[in-house]
Chain A
Amino acid sequence: EPEVTQTPSHQVTQMGQEVILRCVPISNHLYFYWYRQILGQKVEFLVSFYNNEISEKSEIFDDQFSVERPDGSNFTLKIRSTKLEDSAMYFCASTEDSSYGYTFGSGTRLTVV
């Protein structure tokens, strides 16, 4: 069964550093998403991406964050100048049709120290 693949599974970074979280969505999917889950809390929407541009973003997704689809397969989330409160699980998701359910990756656990 097709999967959304995320790397790395765990990233530890120092406060103030930049991190790039990587995702390979399912190949025929057109819509891509990033979500965040702080430990013990609900999954929060960050951003949606379609046709090489952001289609929607939440209030969490400020200038510290950016997304990119650098080639035909990868979808990345860049977090600049990381803060302690950025520590969370970051999930990538994709779907063929935005009116249907999304397929999620297994997540990247980001720890900012």
Chain B
Amino acid sequence: GESVGLHLPTLSVQEGDNSIINCAYSNSASDYFIWYKQESGKGPQFIIDIRSNMDKRQGQRVTVLLNKTVKHLSLQIAATQPGDSAVYFCAEIKDDMRFGAGTRLTVKP
């Protein structure tokens, strides 16, 4: 499944499928980007980051892609699990960190 974070704030996928969450950031001078996961009632939790001199970074089951030309960031989650259900925020850092609007990911068993 795929979402445009700011225009489609919810994404529902089947367990085991891959998820793609998108984010458009605002400041072309931002040099560091982070994806956070926020579960209900908790604070944002760091997932993965990427610097502006990279266009792809992989973690465990997650990949972040950065397209500076169109100021677009995406988070790919492989083999999505029920525990991945949460709201996902992208954040950009220049002088301080600013969050995007978030996408709610729901994983159906």
Interface residue ranges, A against B (CB under 8 Å): 4, 33, 35, 41-45, 48, 55-56, 91, 93, 98-107
Contacts and interface: CB of A to CB of B under 8 A. Distances in A.
Contacts of B46: 101-103
B97 A42 contact: no
Interface of B: 31-32, 34, 36, 38, 41-46, 49, 89, 93, 95-102
Given A100-B49, A107-B43, 12 more contacts: A33-B97, A35-B99, A42-B100, A45-B99, A48-B96, A56-B95, A56-B96, A99-B32, A100-B32, A101-B34, A106-B43, A107-B42
Contacts of B44: 43, 91, 104
A91 B100 CA distance: 16
23 contacts: A33-B97, A41-B101, A42-B89, A42-B101, A42-B102, A43-B38, A43-B44, A44-B99, A45-B99, A98-B93, A98-B96, A99-B31, A99-B32, A100-B49, A103-B46, A104-B36, A104-B43, A104-B44, A104-B45, A105-B43, A106-B41, A106-B42, A106-B43
B99 A43 contact: yes
Name, among A41, A91, A101, the residue most crowded by chain B CB atoms within 10 Å (CB to CB): A101
Contacts of B89: 42-43
Contacts of B95: 56
A93 to B, nearest CB: 8
Nearest to A9: B41
B87 to A, nearest CB: 9
- List the 10 closest pairs (A to B, CB-CB), nearest first: A104-B43, A43-B99, A42-B101, A101-B46, A104-B44, A48-B96, A101-B34, A106-B43, A56-B96, A91-B43
A105 B101 CA distance: 20
Contacts of A43: 38, 44, 89, 99, 102
A11 B93 CA distance: 30
A33 B99 CA distance: 13
